[in-house]
Structure formats: structure tokens, C-alpha cells
């Protein structure tokens, strides 16, 4: 099961976060900081799957954006890795070369609706 979905830039700023389990706001900030630190500190030669606390992190980097998905121990990492890629392909089709600015703009637009 997916626990959360994050989009983060190279500076470690969260651009999109979506939680599928209840996590208190102050704990979200701490969780995001730790998760981002773990993913950004890894080299491109290292695996994109990380065992973290009681769940796993699956991440992919696309230009200046990192997409990180937190999953439980029973979830298939490769399926989530492919899900991330499909999500980015959809964004690319919609925005024709998605960028960090597109993500920020579309999220603020959704909140206005």
C-alpha cells in the first residue's frame, strides 16, 4: 500500500505531498525532511529503493525533480518504480515537457478549484 507521495526539488523543497494515511502536520515536516535527506544524499549509481523505518522508499529523479513514494513492506518496489515513470509520462503529455514550475502552478490551480 502506498503511504505517501512526494515531489521534491534538488534543494530539498517539497513541491507536492500527498498522504494516504493520517500523519500529523508536525510529523509530516520531520518525515519529509528525513526522507528527502536520504534520497538526495544518494548517488546515481545506488539503488532507488531504500529501507526506511517500518516502510520502504522508492524514488526516481527527473531533471531537477525527485519523486518519492513511501510504501509498506509488502508492496512491489518495481511496480511502484514503474508507476512513478507512468505518472511523469502523463505530466509530460499534459504539459509537454513538465518542469518544477508546471507542478507548482498546477497544484496552486487545483487548490483554487
Say if strands 49-52 and 65-71 run parallel, antiparallel, or are unpaired.
unpaired
Q: Which CATH class is domain 2-111?
A: alpha beta
State the chain's maximal CA–CA distance in angstroms.
41
pLDDT in tens, 37-82: 998 898 888 999 999 988 999 999 887 889 999 999 999 999 999 9
pLDDT in tens, 14-44: 888 999 999 999 999 999 999 999 988 988 8
**pLDDT band at residue 108 under the 50/70/90 scheme:** very low
Q: pTM of the full predicted structure?
A: 0.82
Cβ-based neighbours of 84, under 8 Å, separated by 6 or more: 58, 59, 60, 67, 69
Amino acid at each position: 500500500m502506498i503511504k505517501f507521495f512526494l515531489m521534491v526539488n534538488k534543494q530539498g523543497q517539497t513541491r507536492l505531498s500527498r498522504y494516504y494515511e493520517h500523519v500529523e502536520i508536525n510529523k509530516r515536516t520531520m518525515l519529509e525532511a528525513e526522507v528527502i535527506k536520504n534520497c538526495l544524499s544518494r548517488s546515481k549509481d545506488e539503488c532507488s529503493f531504500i529501507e526506511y523505518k517500518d516502510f520502504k522508499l522508492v524514488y526516481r529523479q527527473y531533471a531537477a525533480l525527485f519523486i518519492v513514494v513511501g510504501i509498506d513492506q509488502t508492496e512491489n518496489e518495481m511496480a511502484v518504480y514503474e508507476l512513478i515513470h507512468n505518472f511523469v509520462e502523463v505530466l509530460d503529455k499534459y504539459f509537454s515537457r513538465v518542469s518544477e514550475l508546471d507542478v507548482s502552478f498546477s497544484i496552486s490551480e487545483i487548490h483554487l478549484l
